[in-house]
A and B are shown apart, each in its own frame.
Chain A
């Protein structure tokens, strides 16, 4: 043991001697240059930092919504505020670096789009009392972003996108009255999808419906998952799931081929070919988050702002898809819906 310790000490001294200049230069340049930036970054405009975990339609819409709400309140990037944004491209270690990058700039507010983004940010921000506004998070309590939805002390608030299961099943039963079995395609690696499906299962049981689950953890597994369901279900529901939504076109193609109506938990998917959705408008959710940011910029405390849930639902209908999937849509449903793809 003693030999070991002496050995280590000697080795360490040798190694350091050889490299001390190199290591010192690297480490000192990083620290010295940091002082330079802190001096040059003049905190004249309030700084808002936004990060999202991956790039895709729904999350990009949230981003647009946030920026729009800020602009509507007179906070324009480059003029009245300074806006920075970073996308982790699905990589959690990168999300960690983004989190410290944001914390180090001492912004007035940080917006996290998605659960893992918010989770990586929460610690570095809390240490410095920087307010965090999350959105595109289904269950902020289970993600431990907040302890309870109502009474909070933390510098955290945001928007929850949890969809109640009732209206989702109402939608499918309205359009396909004879429905008994509903197929669902989802990624078993996404916490938001799992929460949605837990709720749907209970509600379906109450209504005497059967849910048939098909897992697609990668976009390449989506088509096999759909073919697994075809012939066994009267309709397919695609929840707000990153993997399934990203491949909605291939699901729709199969739905048209085998005349199985495809429903979705987000409006973007209807524009891309699903029959209908009873969903939140992502831009509207982003705007809600943006308005929370505005309140914080105006001096309110994040902990005093209520977490926003249960937003207005919008019925979206794609008539072309309905036709190609062999459905006739009742006139009264057409009236209350926002219609896309009307050329028939």
Chain B
């Protein structure tokens, strides 16, 4: 293999994958279950970081700060949903508007573009700090993946999924699709903001530009996960999201190690990865068909 990784890089990529796993599950909820390509995440990711970092530097307990970040993320999802359902705005446009507004809002929240958290008390410096980061992040990640699985299996979760797959049918069954889109997008952005809050606490700073490309990472991970792992049940889909995220960051880290590739080529590598991941199911189908005939 021409793209090796050593232990530190491997762990670094896994950590990044775990932090972004919340983004991936969030994107999965909006993009796959609601069929809503939600650009808000490019703004709600730094929003989570901004809220958590601002509160932590103000001396607030990191658990409370992280919780506030999650609430802020949920609110941003509600705004996007409102733009889309009440103002009848195109999905993509509603997300882009929220994302743009969030850039200014994040600057307001932080009061400046960059807050450093190094040396502050964070989620990962309490009892979780006794464990290596990848284990504590793994615990948090599995905890939330489980609760999201539980959430999507409740009546509300089922209604959200029904709205996504067939809004007309959903309405006929008495489901309020506006409320479902709102619930889905707020859950999705709450998760993304949690990812942002964790990113800031793991890496020691929040920066207003850190949202750039969040949606792409989320989509790439969802698509890679779906291509490689079965997604027939919601549970499988969530596991696929988690593994897809970790795998994506591992592949990115490997791309950095290839001699002729530079960090600036990583976006191209992402595009090729996603395109090939999307080709894979087609290819599989064709190969199996050929075998049968």
User: Using a CB–CB distance below 8 Å, which chain A residues touch chain B?
Assistant: 4, 7-8, 11-12, 14-15, 18-19, 22-23, 26, 29-31, 33-38, 55, 86-94, 96-101, 103-104, 115-116, 119-120, 122-124, 128, 142-145, 147, 188-191, 194, 217
Contacts and interface: CB of A to CB of B under 8 A. Distances in A.
Contacts of A34: 4-7, 9-10
B230 A15 contact: yes
A30 B8 contact: no
Interface stretch (B58-66, B88-96, B168-176, B244-252): B244-252
Give the secondary structure class of B's interface: helix
B264 interface: yes
B113 A33 contact: no
B215 to A, nearest CB: 12
A23 B228 CA distance: 9
Contacts of A11: 233, 235-236, 239
B93 to A, nearest CB: 18
Contacts of B228: 19, 22
B112 interface: yes
Contacts of A86: 256, 262-263
A97 B12 contact: yes
A85 to B, nearest CB: 9
Given A97-B253, A100-B8, A144-B205, A189 B103 contact: yes
B29 interface: no
Nearest to A30: B5
B230 to A, nearest CB: 6
B213 interface: yes
Contact of B239 (A12, A55, A115, A124): A12
B157 interface: no
B143 interface: no
Contact of A100 (B116, B243, B247, B253): B253
A194 B205 CA distance: 17
Contacts of B204: 119, 122-123, 144
Max chain B C-beta neighbours (<10 A), residue from A38, A91, A96, A122: A96
Given A98-B256, A119-B204, A15 B8 contact: no
Contacts of A88: 263
Contacts of B249: 97
A243 to B, nearest CB: 11
Contacts of B276: none
A103 B10 CA distance: 11
B107 interface: yes
B165 interface: no
The 5 closest A-B pairs by CB, nearest first: A100-B12, A33-B4, A144-B116, A104-B8, A34-B6
B107 A124 contact: no
Contacts of A123: 118, 203-204
Contact of B266 (A33, A94, A194, A217): A94
Given A22-B228, A97-B263, A189-B103, 15 more contacts: A14-B236, A15-B230, A18-B229, A26-B250, A30-B5, A31-B5, A36-B4, A89-B264, A90-B209, A94-B252, A96-B12, A101-B257, A119-B203, A144-B118, A194-B112
